[in-house]
């Protein structure tokens, strides 16, 4: 079956959102209490939420379980949405699912709800104690901050990371891109998967400098003609992926950093298109919800 996505929007799938965050409501306890009564609620357990019939399972607040509440925002009609951090219940016809599995299937509102809820759930799970004094912290500001016993406030942080589709600049089906297989991808579904190179932006570094450095470190190739394409949140656990394309010479030797990259090689457009169209299965590609998948399709379409 073909994985080729629709091109309804020339942006990464999870960068689209119809969620209005209305941050000024987060400290208005009276408004939040009233909004809860009429809200729709997304239950989140770790990185999972319930999914059925191509949609997230959203509950009326009266049916929501106990758990930490997070005010996610409103839609364009003013309907309020919350997340509750709690175990998932058994719902007929529904299954637990992650952003990796279903992110590309969600509309702009539900995509915004899920990725925001998972990002905050991950942050709360990792910040139970204050980095200042080691004392416990508790949620405040409708789930958008945590506070310690001494009143010290902590807010979610996002880690910038670059992800880049390196290609040779050649048009047509013989044009090539350079993809790598991460050394950590050892699970059965990932053993033959190749994807774009990526890495975190270091302290004091620009995103562009990080692209050049990461490609050089991971595969030993020099890149030029960098172009920023777009960004997408990736809450595993709290990254913002900054997507780039860059050009390199395929005649330059590929020398992988074996601690990070198990293998890397150049693929033609015909090879990549064959996998996406289901015509070959000798290697795998990124899941459709990822910005890597979007970058590959931009390159296939000649937009890189």
Higher pLDDT, 91 or 9: 91
On the question of pLDDT at 6 being above 60, the answer is: no
Confidence label for 288 from pLDDT (cuts 50, 70 and 90): very high
Which pLDDT value is given to residue 189?
81
The predicted model gives 2-31 an average pLDDT of 79
**Between 242 and 150, residue with greater pLDDT:** 242
What's residue 240's pLDDT? Answer: 97
Check pLDDT > 80 for residue 4. no
pLDDT at res. 3: 38
pLDDT value, residue 260: 95
Whether residue 1 has pLDDT greater than 90: no
Which has the minimum average pLDDT: 2-6, 52-56, 108-112?
2-6
145 φ, ψ to 5°?
A: -160, 170
Q: Which residues contact 214 (CB under 8 A, 6 or more apart)?
A: 162, 164, 197, 198, 199
pLDDT, residue 30, reads 98
pLDDT digits (tens, 9 = 90+) for 250-282: 999 999 999 999 999 999 999 999 999 999 999
- Residue pair 115/95 in contact (Cβ under 8 Å)? The answer is no
Indicate whether 7 pLDDT > 70: no
Query: Could you tell me whether strands 159-167 and 239-247 are parallel, antiparallel, or unpaired per DSSP bridges?
Result: parallel
Question: Which tens digits make up the pLDDT trace of 89-144?
Answer: 999 999 999 999 999 999 999 999 999 999 999 999 999 999 888 999 999 999 99
Q: Residue count of the chain, please give it.
A: 304
Instruction: Give residue 51's pLDDT.
Output: 98
In this predicted model, which residue has the larger pLDDT, 294 or 304? 294
The structure tokens 């416990």 sit at 136
Residue 80, beta-bridge partner list: 74
What share of the chain has pLDDT > 70, as a percent? 97
Confidence band of 188 (pLDDT split at 50, 70, 90): confident
Name the pLDDT band for 5 (thresholds 50, 70, 90).
very low
Q: Around 7, how many Cα atoms within 13 Å sit in the side-chain half-sphere?
A: 8
Q: Which pLDDT value is given to residue 187? A: 87
């Amino acid at each position: 079956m073909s994985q080729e996505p629709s091109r309804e929007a020339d942006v990464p799938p999870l960068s689209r959102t119809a969620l209005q965050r209305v941050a000024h409501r987060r400290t208005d306890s009276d408004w939040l209490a009233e909004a809860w009564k009429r809200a729709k609620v997304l239950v989140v357990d770790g990185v999972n939420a319930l999914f059925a019939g191509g949609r997230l399972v959203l509950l009326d607040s009266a049916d929501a379980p106990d758990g930490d509440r997070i005010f996610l925002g409103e839609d364009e009609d003013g309907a309020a949405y919350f997340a509750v951090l709690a175990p998932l219940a058994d719902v007929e016809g529904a299954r637990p699912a992650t952003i990796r599995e279903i992110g590309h299937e969600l509309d702009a509102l539900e995509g915004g709800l899920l990725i925001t809820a998972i990002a905050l759930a991950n942050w709360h799970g990792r910040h139970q104690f204050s980095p200042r004094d080691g004392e416990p912290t508790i949620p405040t500001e409708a789930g958008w901050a945590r506070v310690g016993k001494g009143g010290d406030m902590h807010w979610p942080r996002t880690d910038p990371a670059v992800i880049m589709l390196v290609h040779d600049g050649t048009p047509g089906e013989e044009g090539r891109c350079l993809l790598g297989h991460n050394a950590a991808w050892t699970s059965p579904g990932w053993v033959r998967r190749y994807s774009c190179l990526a890495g975190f932006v270091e302290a004091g570094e620009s995103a562009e400098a990080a692209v050049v450095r990461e490609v050089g470190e991971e595969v030993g190739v020099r890149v030029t003609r960098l172009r920023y394409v777009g960004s997408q949140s990736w809450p595993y656990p709290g990254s913002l992926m900054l997507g780039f394309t860059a050009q390199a010479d395929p005649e330059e030797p590929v020398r992988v950093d074996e601690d990070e990259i198990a293998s890397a090689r150049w693929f033609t457009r015909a090879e990549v298109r064959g996998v996406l169209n289901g015509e070959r299965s000798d290697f795998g590609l990124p899941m459709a919800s990822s910005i890597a998948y979007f970058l590959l399709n931009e390159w296939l379409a000649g937009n890189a």
